Structure 1
């Protein structure tokens, strides 16, 4: 990038910044005379006389009652208001009007805020929290046409519950069922009176009754009477059922018949006489679509059993998880012969069974290769009449290495452009994946009572890779595993059989020279027969959207060769040596253990902002039949989902400075240990456009140091992990990002700025002072274009 272009870019950025500052100071431009911009508010709760000390929580709750809200702001600026003012027009059509009203936001005026009404709502909220005696007042201050409203709530000691009594008729079973739940009641003596807790208690009691057969009961049939005449701010709570409750709501029901229409479409005429009786269920009309023995594993409604909502929800969730079905509907009807019985009707609407999809892609890999691709995918959602999902994917890509460290360098020996700068890759592959919605095992296993469908996965694939000027490679893979979720937050995934075989079929002199100069790298490419097992455990509460603090932790264990090596040892095979490893089917196999942990923490900040953090650690160790980890199992770092100030695979191991001649191959920049940490602040800008500020740090290291047998020199100097120096070897980057987030699809642009470069000499690693606005060199920016969030 020329100096002239840099100066122009800097001038434009400066002009844009000045414009933003100018318009931020002009946020009252469209405010009418005699009015003011509602710039903000504060809420203070005086709780000196309140022993519960809930002022912080109360202030947060009262803040939610303020209407209307002030214009959205970030760092004191109001971007949507700025857009409205900048493009303000009285025309009803045109581009300016569209930008003003679609992307902008009109000023929220003081005249729109009814402080008396808001104060009354706040007082009512305090009353619901047990502060029957409270006072809410407000005052408004205006400066330069900007108004700030301060609300003050004066409260005393809240009314507290003295005792809870159940005024029920013991002659009815439902009253006994309610009394039996009293030990788990949300209402506790000496707790402050709280209307929301009483509402939750009604829902809790209803949930208990629903699981005891009371199908027609509802929470609004429960009444809480509160008596405050006891004095000393004490309240007695009386729980009872409405006297006008219909008789059927007070009766427990059993399930009589269960009718299952396994191939239902809207407007189908159903005859309950035309059924198959299978294990007590009425199957309609036949097993031509999904066989009953497979479907019934997801049905937890049992004929002649007590109705429970738990079994109802479990059944619907499990059946909705079957690929063969698009809709699941469950209805109940009173039995025509017995007044305490219900007939259950399951209507299952099939999804489109077979589909073929063609998709043009833009491939962007973590190793820095990008280019056009084509995907053809065949899908059968009911392959063997058991709702098995069979997927066959055919892929083809043409990729070139884009960008990277040293992109502006020439070969130091010849002065010519590096051969690797034109590195391209061709790839063809086919993957066949079969997901069976049940556990298929040689051992008999009980049906798991979980709302998530347990799955058996079978995968077989082949891939051909042609890395121009380097090598051609055939890759074969096969696996057999299980996936199950005992509850919403926990997932187990075990793969007892995991096979991979990577075969170099043709190598070029340039690649052979690289291998000849690096014995460790040569070994990692030779030992590519992987036969082992994998286990993965994931915890995540991100699906619980209302949580302020969300956690995600994924730990995976990958082992290979241990069982084969143990069997060969038992049969008296020769001990493995570096030059003569043990073989399986004539091919050396890898023996290693690899563990990785991905921990993430998300904290909501305000209504729409979030702080996201990640700590990623991993270590792999080869032993026995292997002197090094397979290349495909080694760690790398850098890129759009890692340290974004550095290109993929351009860091490490340790302080190793890759030779200029290998800058574009990245073969050497892998390791046995990985440590990475990320912090990102995510915030809205306007509409579906969001922004981010981030800091990334990390590196990879080797567990062993290797020496080139020809030269006697260390292969990758500075690459071995050392507990006393590793913190000083971390690569650090920062930057800003823009994301177009339309919920189901996210396009991300991140501009990474290097702060610390570990492969530079010790006194020159802090490079932020030398930062330039270009995209070349060790101190330039890195543009990352990706799909989805980095973590």
Structure 2
């Protein structure tokens, strides 16, 4: 088998003698043998002999493989490497490590059993998982040659069910050890997670004299219908009292409910999951309702979405087959209505319906268990309202003012696209460099004059350009008047461009430091936007790029990372005298410094 596969060798005559390359060739041969029936084969069986006698700057290289007897002190070991076929497969889906270790033989012999398509399932009291679900996670079968690759893929398939905290494979050799082909039985031990759980969280906020409190209650069930269905029900509420409210209603109130059901199988009719589909799609259904009341407006948001996600070794795919978002603006204060009346932003504060479809592609070669450099790419296109617009316009019906409606509600039509590119460079164990480039564009057309409010981009904040508070930058060189900043978040746009560079280093104990540089902005895409300096123009946008720097400190508790970042403005595109570099033009002021608190790294 080694000779048959020699065409894939990493070593050839004339190559530079290199220790790392020799080790890589040993690993290649070992992996090839492990995936072709040679269970337990170790790279230590592979050795090299080099001959440099009378060969200046050259060496003859001989590769050899020891037999088990020569590599062991046990003289009863065979003088050849046997191949192994899979014998009996047993699965224990309710494995209890403590009970099993105290009495392994009794634990299995006392269990009830069920045979399903050549696989024996052992359980105690009650079988909590459907046999077909367990069988569909296997990528090898009785009678097949042992393959380490298939074992690893089976482990990944069981792990993707998100139901087991421990997954263990035990292989037991059966028969005569001197046979050239032997059977090896497989015992798969699955220790389930807690089936049901509750989580309650409360938090308080204080900002510029505004006091608020928020809470979340989450219920989770990891195996709702015995098919590893993950169900989550979330209740959330928040209230914030405004110190400088200009309306009679002096607080912001929000509450909502959200449910999610995800199953490890396709919901497409007349399809059947093939056994061993380790990249099988997960189907997801989401329903949510959210109520928001503010001094300037009251609105409710209802959302329903259905889609699939599936994961491959380096990529992840998420397809939202249909997402329906309904936004109803039921009340609006006279002051707020007069402020936005006749402006471009007025279109974003109307009741609307968004029927959308989107797809997200994510690539990452990060290995969680290893601290090494990695690359990350995320692409996300989204389309909304096209089918509805096509059906209505096909009847040659003249489009009414304000666009076609469904149930007396305007239907949004737009297209969006986003690119998120990141590279994390590990300089050494204590120093890292992180890079991120994000660009997103949303374009309304047909039935819509503006993007929906909830689809628009904003900049600033703990995960954006940290020298500006969230939603306080842009669009372009536009500067929101001081008397309007507390009334509504007008600083939204249709285009977003952002660049981030961060140098991360260890300090002491659990503390880590960071130096960062952020640049970017948001822009409007429609010429009807009447905000001065907001429109994106190819010959001018680079003059409107905001630049900030700063330093941060992080507390890394492994399971939790708390982050404080102090952002400092360097270039302000919204300055009164036009975009300026602050150093060299004026003194730094308090407003040029922004303190951000965040959970986790910004990117």
- Structure 2 residue runs of 5 or longer lacking an equivalent are 71-76, 101-106
Alignment check: 8 A CA contact 2:477 2:579 kept? no
Distance in 2 (alpha carbons) for counterparts of 1:680 and 1:440? 43
Segments of 4+ in structure 1 off by > 6 A? Answer: 420-423
SS of the residue aligned with 1:382? Answer: coil
Distance in 2 (alpha carbons) for counterparts of 1:248 and 1:319? 37
Alignment check: 8 A CA contact 2:175 2:182 kept? no
Distance in 1 (alpha carbons) for counterparts of 2:38 and 2:500? 51
Q: Which one of 33, 36, 41 corresponds to residue 212 of structure 1?
A: 36
Alignment check: 8 A CA contact 1:682 1:692 kept? yes
SS of the residue aligned with 1:196? Answer: helix
Q: Which one of 357, 376, 397 corresponds to residue 217 of structure 2?
A: 376
SS of the residue aligned with 1:298? Answer: coil
More strand by share: 2
Distance in 2 (alpha carbons) for counterparts of 1:430 and 1:390? 14
Give the 3 Å change call, closer, same or farther, for CA 288–569 of structure 1 in structure 2: farther
CA-to-partner distance for each residue in 1:442-471, whole Å, 9 max, x for gaps? 25265496756632111111111111x211
| TM-score, length basis structure 2 | 0.90
Alignment check: 8 A CA contact 1:527 1:626 kept? no
Q: Which one of 339, 360, 373 corresponds to residue 536 of structure 1?
A: 360
Matched, 1:426 2:253: yes
Kindly state the Cα deviation for residue 420 of structure 1 after the two structures are TM-superposed. 8.2
Matched, 1:388 2:229: yes
Alignment check: 8 A CA contact 2:121 2:131 kept? yes
CA-to-partner distance for each residue in 1:659-712, whole Å, 9 max, x for gaps? 222112343211111111122222222222122222211111111132xxxxxx
SS of the residue aligned with 2:188? Answer: strand
Alignment check: 8 A CA contact 1:215 1:249 kept? no
- The aligned runs of 1:10-409 (5 Å cut-off) are 177-243=1-67, 244-245=69-70, 246-247=77-78, 250-266=81-97, 267-268=99-100, 269-271=107-109, 274-285=112-123, 288-336=127-175, 340-362=182-204, 371-399=212-240
| TM-score, length basis structure 1 | 0.69
Matched, 1:734 2:549: yes
Distance in 1 (alpha carbons) for counterparts of 2:575 and 2:108? 76
Distance in 1 (alpha carbons) for counterparts of 2:205 and 2:28? 50
Alignment check: 8 A CA contact 2:304 2:324 kept? yes
Distance in 2 (alpha carbons) for counterparts of 1:608 and 1:681? 11
Q: Which one of 255, 259, 268 corresponds to residue 441 of structure 1?
A: 268
Distance in 1 (alpha carbons) for counterparts of 2:247 and 2:18? 70
Q: Which one of 492, 514, 525 corresponds to residue 670 of structure 1?
A: 492
Give the 3 Å change call, closer, same or farther, for CA 541–764 of structure 1 in structure 2: closer
Matched, 1:644 2:459: no
Q: Which one of 456, 471, 489 corresponds to residue 297 of structure 2?
A: 471
Distance in 2 (alpha carbons) for counterparts of 1:421 and 1:224? 85
- Structure 1 residue runs of 5 or longer lacking an equivalent are 1-176, 403-416, 707-713
Q: Which residue of 2 aligns with 1:171?
A: none
SS of the residue aligned with 1:232? Answer: coil
Distance in 2 (alpha carbons) for counterparts of 1:449 and 1:696? 45
Q: Which one of 305, 312, 319 corresponds to residue 486 of structure 1?
A: 312
Give the 3 Å change call, closer, same or farther, for CA 756–196 of structure 1 in structure 2: closer
Q: Which residue of 1 aligns with 2:74?
A: none
Distance in 2 (alpha carbons) for counterparts of 1:195 and 1:656? 60
In the comparison of the two structures, how many residue pairs are matched?
Answer: 584
Give the 3 Å change call, closer, same or farther, for CA 400–649 of structure 1 in structure 2: farther
Superposition RMSD in Å: 2.8
More helix by share: 1
SS of the residue aligned with 1:192? Answer: coil
Q: Which residue of 2 aligns with 1:498?
A: 323
Q: Which residue of 2 aligns with 1:576?
A: 399
Kindly state the Cα deviation for residue 787 of structure 1 after the two structures are TM-superposed. 1.3
Give the 3 Å change call, closer, same or farther, for CA 691–216 of structure 1 in structure 2: closer
SS of the residue aligned with 2:475? Answer: coil
CA-to-partner distance for each residue in 1:548-577, whole Å, 9 max, x for gaps? 64321111111111112222334x162434
Q: Which of structures 1 and 2 has the bigger CA Rg?
A: 1
Q: Which one of 458, 461, 466 corresponds to residue 288 of structure 2?
A: 461
Alignment check: 8 A CA contact 1:363 1:371 kept? yes
Kindly state the Cα deviation for residue 215 of structure 1 after the two structures are TM-superposed. 1.0
CA-to-partner distance for each residue in 1:731-768, whole Å, 9 max, x for gaps? 22111211122232111111111122212244563323
